[in-house]
Structure 1
Amino acid sequence: MGKILYLHIGKPELKNWIGKTEESAIGKKSVKEAFLAMGSFEGDGVAATEFHGGPDRAVCFYPAEHYRQWSSEFNKSIEVPTFGENISAHGMKESDVYIGDIYRLGEATVQVSQGRIPCSKISKNNQIDLLLKKVVQTGYTGYFFRVLEEGLVNEEAEIILLDRVQEDFSILEANDILFHRRNDVAAIESLIGTEGLAEAWKQELNKLLKQKN
């Protein structure tokens, strides 16, 4: 697919948003290289464990193309990595990437596991109240990788598609089901059975099915 555009890691820190102090790891810093272990990049961390962290959410990716769109839509310069992502690249939007896709990332091997479920911190960090709503509406959430093989990743590492295990559910399609088609039982049942889907998503989708019974 090409090379990643940047590599960022960071630990949770206190942020002052609208006069309120919150802990967040959204403010990541650029690094030349980092070792990618099974759970995360060494030196990386999370605060909101309901949305981030764990083996299925070891690496956060946000498509580079969205930065131009959001900057234009809100008439404000939105700079990387303000969505809290670890890496980005061109040509890997939510519509281009499928759950279960396996990639080579530098010396590591990773697999797409789920779309990101965004929280209000992306609005707070960018000082744009409507940003979260727009991200959910469009499905431009970014997504997560799990680690299949550990390895060193540098800031110019190649990211190469090794295997596509299914072509039914892109990240964008999965986001659409979870956010907007919550009554579509057939689609929910099919998505649950998708190879590579994160356990957290399976649990959430199963909750939706139980509500229909």
Structure 2
Amino acid sequence: MKIISTNISTTKTIFHNKKEIKTGIFKSPTFNEIAITKLNIIGDEQADLINHGGEHKAVYAFSSGHYEHWKKELKNQNISFGMFGENFTISNLSEEYIYIGDQFRIGTALLEVSQPRVPCFKLGIALDNKSILKLFTQYYCTGIYFRVIEPGVAKTGDEVILEKEAAHNISIRKLFQAYFDKGYIDYKSVLSEAYCLKELAPEWKEKIKKKLSLN
């Protein structure tokens, strides 16, 4: 795996449904080396600090391989890297084989997989498609949020190297599908196991707690 595109954005104010909205989802590629800190990437801004950025969503990565699917699905050949709001577009980034707690060396930084991405309405704005939230959820390829174990720098072309593999089988895709797929037969055992993982972000622990009515 390697970084195909590095994407950042300052926040922008737009009008949507006659309302003023501030967002950082409109990311564009940069060929400059970027600095990865414990809470975010320097130069990349988030408007909603409750739902974006922070310790457990410091960095967001998305597979370059998903773009061809979405170009066909949305009948839009103009979709380009960064349009899903990702900081890093990475080759061969498979949610099926990346697990909560896996640690990757990206540039000089060490990042740990913390949770899947749950899309918000701003993705629909970015892609100018009202159906994308439903389609994105049903596709189960969500991209990956990371927390930062060791800050560092990275740039387009850098290798992405697995340094520590999690000792369980709860992948990003498996967790997301168990939560959102109403036909997922074994969802309770998958979510119960995921809930016990110390590496899983608190946001997802709370989601699982509510879904399983845990006390």
Which TM-score applies when normalising by structure 2? Answer: 0.91
For 1:178 and 1:108, locate their aligned partners in 2 and report how far apart those are by CA, in whole Å. Answer: 30
Root-mean-square deviation (Å): 1.9
Paired position in structure 2 for 1:118:
119
User: Deviations along 1:25-47, whole A, 9 cap, x unmatched?
Assistant: 00123221111111111111212
CA distance in 2, matches of 1:161, 1:73: 31
**Structure 2: distance between partners of 1:40 and 1:160:** 20
User: Given residue 209 of structure 2, which amino acid in structure 1 is its aligned partner?
Assistant: N
Deviations 1:85-109 (A, max 9, x none): 1001121121121111100010110
Distance 2:17 2:82 in 1: 20
1:15 counterpart letter in structure 2: I
Amino acid at match of 2:46: V
Residue pair 2:81, 2:89 contacting (<8 A) in 1 also? no
Match of 1:207 in 2: 210
Distance (whole Å) between structure 2 residues aligned to residue 127 and residue 99 of structure 1: 31
Aligned residue for 1:70, secondary structure, equals helix
Q: Does 2:193 match 1:190?
A: yes
Matched, 1:93 2:98: no
| Counterpart residue number, 1:67 | 67
Contact 1:99 1:195 in 2 (8 A): no
Range with greater deviation from structure 2 (31-40 or 14-23): 14-23
C-alpha distance in 1 between matches for 2:89 and 2:29: 12
Quote how far apart the aligned CAs of 1:15 are.
Answer: 2.1
DSSP 3-state at the match of 2:63 = coil
Misfit runs of 4+, over 4 Å: none
What is the alpha-carbon distance in structure 2 between the residues aligned to residue 102 and residue 63 of structure 1? 17
Task: Give the % identical residues.
Answer: 30
Kindly indicate whether the alpha-carbon contact (under 8 Å) linking 2:29 and 2:81 is maintained by their aligned counterparts in 1.
Answer: no
CA, structure 1 residues 145+107, in 2 after alignment: closer, same or farther (shift >3 Å)?
A: same
Deviations 1:28-70, CA, capped at 9 Å, x for gaps: 2322111111111111121233432110110011111111101
In the alignment, structure 2 segments of 5+ residues that lack a partner are none
Give aligned pairs, total.
Answer: 211
CA gap of 1:80–1:17, structure 2 versus 1, over 3 A, is: farther
Q: Which amino acid aligns with 2:12?
A: E
**1:28-67 map, 5 Å:** 28-31=27-30, 32-67=32-67
Aligned AA (2:9) = G
Partner of 2:76: 76
